Every structure is written in C-alpha cells, then in structure tokens.
C-alpha cells in the first residue's frame, strides 16, 4: 500500500503584474486525504495546482510535501504524480510503454519495471490492453492509463487537473467511483481540480471552494452543503433558491422574516440567531434548497404556508421539479424538488398551491454576503 504524504500550502500567491491569480491561500492537506479544489473558471484552482506540481512558481509563500520544502524544486524532483484532462499519453508508445515511462526515467531495473507495470495494469483493469496504442482505446480507457502511469512510481501525492472533463456523463460518474475507491485502497494523497460540484461532492473528503483567487470556504461535502458561509458557496454547492426578505425580529420560535406582504416565516437555524444586531425591516437574503420545500394543494398547507402558483412541472426520472411563483413577489420562481416516489398531485401550470419551507433549512445572509 502506498503511503500518502501531507501537503502544506502557506500564504501562496501568484501575481501577474497587478493581478492576483492566487491570493494568500493556505491549506493543510492530511496524508491520505482526497481534497478537491472547486470553483468557476478563473477562480485560481488550476494555477494553485500547477504551483503544487512545480509547473508554475509562486510569487510568494511556501509549499511542503511531508517535511520537504518543494516551493522552488523542479517538477521532476517533487515525487508527485500528475494526471491531466487531455491524458497526455505518448501516441507512438504502447500502453505498457506509456506506463513504464516514469520508471525508465527513474532508472528502475527492467525486471522491476515489468512487475510494476503488470500491477498497474491490473489496478486499473486494463490487463489485456498493454500492447495497444492509445488511439485504439476509448476515452475512459485512456484516462485509466494516465492514472496508472501517474501511480506506477508510487508517489505519495497525486495531482489531478479536471481529469474527467472530456468524458460523457455516465463514464465520468463511473470513473469518479473507481478513482475514489482506488485512492482509498492505495492511501495516496489526492488534490483534485474540478469545476463540477457534483463530482467534488462524490469524491472528496474535503472541498476547498475557490473564488477570485481565494478560499471562500473549506470543509467536508456535508458541511459545505449544509452550512454554506456565503451566498457564493450556497449557490455553487448544489442548487439553491434565494429570496430577498425583511428582518422582523426574534421570538421563541426563531428569527421572523417577511417573505411577502401576506407571509412571514420563522427561521430556526442556530446561525440565524447569532448574527450581528439586526434592526426591524433590515433587508436580508434567505436561501433554501429545493428539496427542503414542500408543495400541497391550496388550503392543505396549514397556517405557516405561503401561497403560490405553479409555473412549470417537470419529471426528470428520480424526482419531480416544480417552479412556483410566490404570491406577491415578482422575482424568479422557487424551484422545488420532490422524490418521484412521493405521491404528489399532478400539478400543472396555473395551479394554486401552498408552499411550506423547512425552517431548519433556511440560511440567512446579510447584504455583504455574511451569514446572519
């Protein structure tokens, strides 16, 4: 079993003139951890990964692998594996020769090379494909070869730059599970760049969400999904509804907010009760996930329900999606998600409904984006 090393990233910066691509980022990655760097294009995640790999030098800061300072060490001397989105396989070499390449560069004995290549082929389930050229393989098979080549010299750290981005959805989901299973079995530390939040949620022990060259929030998938620290993180991790609301005060049942002229609701999340002093009528942003909203026929929702009109009803296999316009509001409709097995009425456009929100699942954010 491979032994993963910790990775320490301290106050790393990368400046291009006056622009900061990465701005004072610090992360401690534990040995054997699977950490994803998640963010939109231009957030700095790939630049940070390239600095860890050594393909770009930081303007300031420190990078350590284990106890070794590698900040200014050449890429080939960092002893880290690298997998790219476009595979980067040598087209003139066979699969075996591609996998053997990093071992030959390290002057490993021929007999050991043969044994380790056989093990690597078995590891990625390509035992019968060793003599083929990359062009004779599917995209998924080529990516498996790239993973095997990156792991064959047993690096303590594996860096992956959107390795599944070029694959179709079904194959991408299959390889997500395969890579995560392989990583857990080998014990290697993985730092994985992606812009796909579902991919990050599926594979990661922790996720570092990046925005504007900085870490917006870092935590476990469940922590980021359930306790987003800002509207940006709330919107980027999963689907989220946002509503402009007004603060009305606090009571025994929770924080009271006005959703429309006719409707007020209570927010019982602990985070809602520990923000800065709020004044009556202060504008806030409420956020709630589609699966935390229920829709019933008009009159069946009870006193805490909000009136609404169905705009669209969509069946997507595993669940239904309803778009509901809230009474008295002109902003975008609420998106509601209900499991397909739930006995929902056959709602159609124009139906009057009662909307109920899970008061424990509502997040409140201030005008500056902070949690209230």
Judged by average pLDDT, the poorest of 26-40, 60-74, 233-247, 318-332 is: 318-332
Claim to verify: residue 265 and residue 155 sit in the same structural domain? no
The model's pLDDT over 285-317, given as tens digits with 9 standing for 90+, comes to 999 999 999 998 888 877 778 899 999 988 888
CATH of the domain at 147: 3.40.50.300
Total count of residues recorded for the chain: 372
Q: Residue 273: pLDDT band by 50, 70, 90 thresholds?
A: very low
pLDDT > 80? residue 5 = yes
* C-alpha dist (Å) from residue 220 to 15, 46, 57, 170, 200: 29, 20, 29, 25, 10
- Residue 37 domain flag: yes
- Residue 235 domain flag: no
* C-alpha dist (Å) from residue 75 to 12, 49, 51, 107, 236: 17, 12, 9, 17, 32
Per the CB < 8 A criterion, the answer to whether 50 and 56 are in contact is yes
Full domain range(s) for residue 44: 7-229
Q: Residue 371: pLDDT band by 50, 70, 90 thresholds?
A: low
pLDDT > 50? residue 173 = yes
Claim to verify: residue 18 and residue 62 sit in the same structural domain? yes
**Per-residue pLDDT, 366:** 83
Would you tell me how many other CB atoms lie within 10 Å of the CB of residue 11? 12
pLDDT > 70? residue 369 = no
**Per-residue pLDDT, 99:** 93
Would you tell me how many other CB atoms lie within 10 Å of the CB of residue 72? 9
**Per-residue pLDDT, 274:** 44
Structure tokens at 262: 């006719």
pLDDT > 80? residue 79 = yes
State the pTM of this model.
Answer: 0.88
Claim to verify: residue 122 and residue 225 sit in the same structural domain? yes
Claim to verify: residue 208 and residue 150 sit in the same structural domain? yes
Find tokens 């066979």 and name the residue. 94
Environment class of 36 (CB within 10 Å of its CB; exposed 0-12, middle 13-18, buried 19+)? buried
Domain endpoint, select from 229, 261, 288? 229
**Per-residue pLDDT, 267:** 87
**Per-residue pLDDT, 217:** 96
CB within 8 A of 77, min separation 6: which ones?
70
Best CA proximity match to 336, nearest among 219, 233, 264, 241: 241
**Percent of the chain whose pLDDT exceeds 70:** 95
Claim to verify: residue 37 and residue 160 sit in the same structural domain? yes
Domain endpoint, select from 209, 229, 249? 229
pLDDT > 50? residue 272 = no
Q: What is the mean pLDDT of residues 6-33?
A: 96
What is the overall mean pLDDT for the chain?
A: 89
CATH of the domain at 344: 2.40.50.140
Per the CB < 8 A criterion, the answer to whether 157 and 189 are in contact is yes
Integer Cα distance of 264 and 257 in angstroms = 6
Claim to verify: residue 291 and residue 201 sit in the same structural domain? no
Domain endpoint, select from 199, 229, 259? 229
CB within 8 A of 277, min separation 6: which ones?
none
The model's pLDDT over 106-152, given as tens digits with 9 standing for 90+, comes to 889 988 999 999 988 988 889 999 999 999 998 888 988 988 898 88
- Residue 2 domain flag: no
The torsion angles phi and psi of 278, rounded to 5 degrees, stand at -115, 145
**Per-residue pLDDT, 58:** 97
Integer Cα distance of 25 and 41 in angstroms = 17
What is the number of domains present in the chain? 2
**Per-residue pLDDT, 368:** 64
Integer Cα distance of 55 and 124 in angstroms = 27
Claim to verify: residue 168 and residue 288 sit in the same structural domain? no
């Amino acid at each position: 079993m491979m032994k993963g090393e910790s990775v320490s990233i301290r106050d790393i910066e990368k400046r291009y003139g006056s622009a900061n691509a990465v701005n004072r980022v610090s992360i401690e990655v534990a040995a054997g951890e699977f950490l994803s760097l998640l963010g939109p294009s231009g957030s700095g995640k790939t630049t940070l990964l390239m600095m860890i790999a050594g393909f770009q030098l930081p303007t300031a800061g420190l990078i350590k692998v284990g106890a070794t300072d590698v900040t200014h060490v050449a890429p080939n001397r960092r002893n880290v594996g690298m997998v790219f989105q476009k595979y980067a396989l040598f087209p003139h070499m066979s699969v075996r020769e591609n996998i053997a390449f990093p071992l030959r560069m390290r002057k490993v004995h021929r007999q050991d090379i043969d044994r380790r290549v056989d093990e690597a082929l078995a590891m990625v389930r390509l035992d019968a494909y060793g003599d083929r050229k990359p062009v004779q393989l599917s995209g998924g098979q080529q990516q498996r070869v790239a993973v095997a080549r990156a792991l064959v010299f047993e690096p303590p750290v594996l860096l992956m730059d959107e390795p599944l981005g070029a694959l179709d959805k079904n194959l991408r989901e299959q390889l997500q599970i395969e890579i995560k299973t392989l990583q857990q079995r080998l014990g290697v530390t993985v730092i994985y760049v992606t812009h796909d939040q579902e991919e990050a949620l599926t594979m990661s022990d922790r996720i570092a969400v990046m925005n504007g060259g900085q870490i917006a929030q870092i935590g476990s998938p469940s922590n980021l999904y359930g306790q987003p620290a800002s509207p940006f993180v709330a919107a980027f991790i999963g689907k989220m509804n946002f509503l402009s609301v007004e603060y009305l005060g606090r009571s025994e049942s929770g924080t009271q907010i006005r959703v429309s002229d006719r409707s007020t609701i209570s927010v019982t999340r602990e985070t809602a009760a520990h923000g800065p002093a709020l004044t009556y009528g202060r504008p806030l942003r409420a956020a709630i996930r589609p699966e935390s909203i229920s829709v019933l026929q008009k009159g069946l929702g009870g006193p805490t329900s909000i009136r609404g009109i169905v705009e669209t009803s969509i069946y997507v296999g595993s669940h239904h999606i309803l778009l509901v316009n809230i009474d008295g509001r002109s902003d975008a409709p609420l998106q509601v998600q209900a499991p397909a097995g739930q006995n929902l009425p056959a709602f159609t456009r124009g139906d009057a409904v009662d909307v109920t929100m899970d008061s424990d699942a509502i997040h409140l954010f201030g005008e500056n984006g902070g949690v209230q």
